[in-house]
Amino acid sequence: MLRLFKYYKPYILPSLMVAVCIITEVAAGLFLPKVMSMIVNFGVAAGNIPYIYQKGLLMLGISAIGSLAAIGINFFSAHISSGFGHDLRQLIFNKAETLAMADFEKIGTNSLITRTTNDVQQIQSFFISVLRVMLMAPVTLVFGLIMMISTSLPLSAVLLISAPALVILIYTISKQVVPAFFKQQKTLDKLNKETRELLDGKEVIRAFNGQEVQEASFESANNEWAELNLFTAKKMALMMPGNMLIQNLTTVAILWLSADLLSDKVILIGDVMAFLQYLTHILGAFSMAANMFSVVPRAQVSANRILEVLDTKSEDTDNKQEIELQGNISFRNVSFHYPDSQVEALSDLSFDIKAGEKVCIIGGAGSGKTTLCKLLMGFYQPTSGEILIDGIPLQDISAESLQKLCGFVPQKNILLSGSVAKNLRFGNVNADDEELRRALRLADAEEFIDKKDGNLRYKLSQGGNNLSGGQKQRLAMARAFIKKPKLVILDDAFSALDYKTDAIIRSSVYKEFKDATLLMITQRVNSMSDCDQILVMDEGRLEAKGTHEELMEISPTYRELVMVQQQEVVSA
Ligand code: ADP
Residues 6 or more apart whose Cβ sits within 8 Å of residue 7: 84, 87, 88, 91
Atom of ligand 1 nearest to the CA of 365: 4
What is the per-residue pLDDT for 395?
86
Å from CA of 372 to ligand 1 middle: 10
What is the per-residue pLDDT for 3?
82
- Give the three-state DSSP class for 441: helix
What is the per-residue pLDDT for 494?
77
522 ligand 1 Cβ < 6 A? no
The residue nearest atom 25 of ligand 1, judged by CA position, is: 338
DSSP 456: G
Rounded Cα–Cα distance for residues 275 and 37 (Å): 9
Rounded Cα–Cα distance for residues 335 and 342 (Å): 12
Å from CA of 367 to ligand 1 middle: 8
Amino acid at position 22, single letter: I
**Rg of the Cα atoms in the chain:** 36
Å from CA of 369 to ligand 1 middle: 8
What is the per-residue pLDDT for 240?
84
What is the per-residue pLDDT for 372?
93
Amino acid at position 36, single letter: M
Å from CA of 353 to ligand 1 middle: 23
pTM exceeding 0.85: no
Query: Domain coordinates of the chain in residue numbers?
Result: 2-311, 329-571
Percent of the chain that is helix, strand, coil (3-state, to 5)? 65, 10, 20
Å from CA of 197 to ligand 1 middle: 20
Do the domains at 2-311 and 329-571 have one common CATH topology?
no
- From first to last of its 572 residues, what are the pLDDT tens digits of the chain? 778 888 888 999 999 999 999 999 999 998 999 999 999 888 887 888 999 999 999 999 999 999 999 999 999 999 999 999 999 999 999 998 888 777 887 787 777 888 898 889 988 888 888 888 878 888 888 888 898 898 888 888 888 898 899 889 888 988 888 888 878 777 877 887 788 777 777 767 676 666 777 778 888 889 998 999 999 889 888 888 998 899 899 999 999 999 888 888 888 888 888 889 888 888 888 877 777 777 787 788 889 889 989 988 877 666 677 888 888 999 999 999 988 788 899 999 999 999 889 999 988 888 899 999 989 988 888 999 999 999 999 988 888 888 888 888 887 777 888 888 888 888 788 888 888 888 888 888 888 888 888 888 888 888 778 888 888 888 888 888 888 889 999 888 777 777 788 888 888 888 888 889 999 888 777 767 778 899 999 889 999 999 888 888 888 888 888 888 777 655 55
The residue nearest atom 14 of ligand 1, judged by CA position, is: 366
Q: CA torsion 284→286→288→290, rounded to 10°?
A: -140
164 ligand 1 Cβ < 6 A? no
What is the per-residue pLDDT for 571?
58
How far is residue 481 from each of residues 224, 439, 485, 522, measured CA to CA in Å?
49, 6, 7, 18
What is the per-residue pLDDT for 316?
67
For residue 478, the tally of other CB atoms under 10 A from its CB is 26
The residue nearest atom 7 of ligand 1, judged by CA position, is: 370
365 ligand 1 Cβ < 6 A? yes
535 ligand 1 Cβ < 6 A? no
Superfamily of domain 2-311: ABC transporter type 1, transmembrane domain (1.20.1560.10)
Helices (H), 355-498: 369-376, 399-405, 420-424, 433-442, 446-450, 469-481
Atom of ligand 1 nearest to the CA of 367: 3
338 ligand 1 Cβ < 6 A? yes
Residues 6 or more apart whose Cβ sits within 8 Å of residue 557: 363, 364, 536, 538, 543, 544
Assign a CATH topology to domain 329-571: Rossmann fold (3.40.50)
Å from CA of 348 to ligand 1 middle: 16
What is the per-residue pLDDT for 569?
57
Å from CA of 188 to ligand 1 middle: 29
C-beta separation of 335 from 347 below 8 A: yes
The residue nearest atom 19 of ligand 1, judged by CA position, is: 371
What is the per-residue pLDDT for 41?
87
Instruction: From 334, 337, 338, give the residue whose CB has the most ligand 1 atoms within 8 Å, as the site to mutate.
Output: 338
Helices (H), 312-431: 369-376, 399-405, 420-424
Residues 6 or more apart whose Cβ sits within 8 Å of residue 175: none
Instruction: From 343, 370, 539, give the residue whose CB has the most ligand 1 atoms within 8 Å, as the site to mutate.
Output: 370
Å from CA of 368 to ligand 1 middle: 6
Å from CA of 481 to ligand 1 middle: 26
What is the per-residue pLDDT for 236?
85
